[in-house]
Structure formats: structure tokens, C-alpha cells
Amino acid sequence: EAAAKAVAELIAQLPVDVTLKDAAAVEAAEAKYNELTNEQQVFVSNKDVLDEAKATIAQLQTEKEAIEAVIEAIDTLPKTVTLADEAVVQAVSVQYELLTEAQQQRVTNKDVLAKAKETIAQLQTAAEQQAAQDQENEAVAKVVEELIAALPKDVILNDASAVEEAEAKYTALTKEQQA
């Protein structure tokens, strides 16, 4: 019974709010408990405290590993983000979002992820604007192409105004539209 009392006292010395720094003390208390015989273990009245401490340590270790995994994932992001990196940035972002708010606060490089997401958003906006501009350029150029295509093969003097109109419209196009 004295051995059980010593283990119970060891467990009683564990802090109420266990942290990862207390893992060695919790493991030591568990080891001492496991050294007891089944008959002696019955006399350890605060075994539930040890079990809670072990569960808390396991949970904290899992959280720490999840946070470290996110930090490592962020560290793998390229220094110069391009649209080709969108899927990777999104995957890391999802991994980050799966953390609790408290865990997210412990991600030391979250600013790198935020910057990468911001860069992707800016690149997407620029790509959308460029696509819209390209579409507009194509539409304007098509009008001029149709004017030129409507000119007769054998141009005569009466066609001078149509040729001048087509030439003026072509000249008015930007270099991108002319291409």
C-alpha cells in the first residue's frame, strides 16, 4: 500500500493544466503506476487524473504536430507565386483553415500564406482582365477583318471610299488588335 500511496502522491503533484512541458512528469508517473501490481493499483485513487493528463498530453502533441505540418507546408510554398501554384496554395490554405483559431495563432509563418493567397487573387484578377481585353481586341479586329474581306478582289476607283474606310479602321487598331 505504501508504493501505491507514493504513486498517488506523484500523480497529485501533476499540474492541473498540463502542457507538453509536463509530458516527462506524466510519463514518469505512468511508468511508476505500471510498476505496481494489479492489487497495488487498486489503491491509487487518483488514476483518473493520470489518465486525463495522458489524454491531454496526447491531444496537445497531436495539435503540435498539426501546427508543425502547416508551418512546414507553408515553408514549401515558392518564393515567387504564380497562377500555376494556385492548387498548392489552396491546399495549404485548406490545411491551415482546418486548425482551430487558437492553433492558427501558433502558425508562425501564416503571413507567408496570406501573401501567397493575395498574390494568387491579384494574378487571377489580372488574368481575367487580360482575357476580357483579349476578347475585346478580337471583336474589334473582327469588324476590321470583315470590312477588308468585303472589299472586292479587283478594286476600282468607285471602291476608293471603302478601301479608305477599311484602312482608317485598321490604322486605328492598337498593335495588339492588329496582331
What phi and psi, each to the nearest 5 degrees, are found at residue 71? -60, -45
- pTM score over 0.75: no
Smallest CA-to-CA distance from 67 within 100, 103, 20 is with 103
Give the chain's length.
Answer: 179
- Can you point out the beta strands (E) in 66-178? none
Reported as a single tens digit per residue, the pLDDT across 94-131 is 999 999 999 999 999 999 999 999 999 999 999 999 99
Looking up cell 502558425, which residue turns up?
A: 107
- Percentages of the chain per state (helix, strand, coil), in multiples of 5: 80, 0, 20
Task: Print pLDDT tens along the chain (179 aa).
Answer: 899 999 999 999 999 999 999 999 999 999 999 999 999 999 999 999 999 999 999 999 999 999 999 999 999 999 999 999 999 999 999 999 999 999 999 999 999 999 999 999 999 999 999 999 999 989 989 988 888 888 888 888 888 888 888 888 888 888 888 77
